[in-house]
Structure 1
Amino acid sequence: MRGLSPSTRRELQLQLLGIWEASQRTVVMVTHDVDEAILLSDRVLVMSKSPESTIIADINVDLPPPRHDASEDPAVETKTAELRKEMLSLLEH
C-alpha cells in the first residue's frame, strides 16, 4: 500500500481487516512493511533477496485481535516489538 497518504493507508488496512473478519477467508498479501505484516497477518513468510527468492522463515503472529486497538496493551506492544526485531533481523542477513 505504498504511495498512499498515511490516513488512506490506515483506512485501507482497517477495511481489509473488516473484510477478513466478516468473511474468514484466507487472504494472501505481499508487503515490504514489517509493521503492516504484523498488523494484518496471522502468519508471515519472510523471503530472501531476489533473484533467487526463497522462504527463509515462517513466523506465527500470535497477537489477539483486534490488533489495530491493541497498542495500549504492554504485553501486545512487547510481542509486537519482538516480532518486528525478528523480521528485521532476518531481512538484514
Structure 2
Amino acid sequence: HVTAIMVTHDVDEAILLADRVVMMTNGPMAKIGKIEEINLPRPRTRKSLLEHPDYYQYRESLLTFLAECDKAH
C-alpha cells in the first residue's frame, strides 16, 4: 500500500482519487471531523463513478458534513 496526502476542496475529485477521505472542521482550531472510507472499484474514472450507485451516497455524505460545518460557523 502507498500512503499519500492530497488537499482538495472538490468532493468529486476526493471520491475519484481516494480510498479514505479525511474531512476537517472549519476555523483556526480545525480538527478531523469525519473519516469516510471510499469502497468503490478501481480503476476509477469520472464516467464509471457517475454510473455507480454508491458514488451518490458517498457524495451526499461528504456534502452533508460540509453543509453542517458551514452552519456551525
TM-score strictly above 0.5:
yes
Normalised to the residue count of structure 1, the TM-score between the two structures is 0.66
More helix by share: 1
Matched length:
68
Query: 2-side partners of 1:90 and 1:72: how far apart?
Result: 20
Pairwise mapping of residues 9-88 of structure 1 onto structure 2 (< 5 A)? 24-68=1-45, 71=48, 74=51, 77-88=52-63
Unaligned runs of 5+ in 2: 69-73
> Greater relative contact order: 1 or 2 (C-alpha under 8 angstroms, separation 6 or more)?
2
Unaligned runs of 5+ in 1: 1-23
Determine what percentage of the aligned residue pairs are the same residue: 40
Normalised to the residue count of structure 2, the TM-score between the two structures is 0.82
- In terms of Rg, which structure is larger? 1
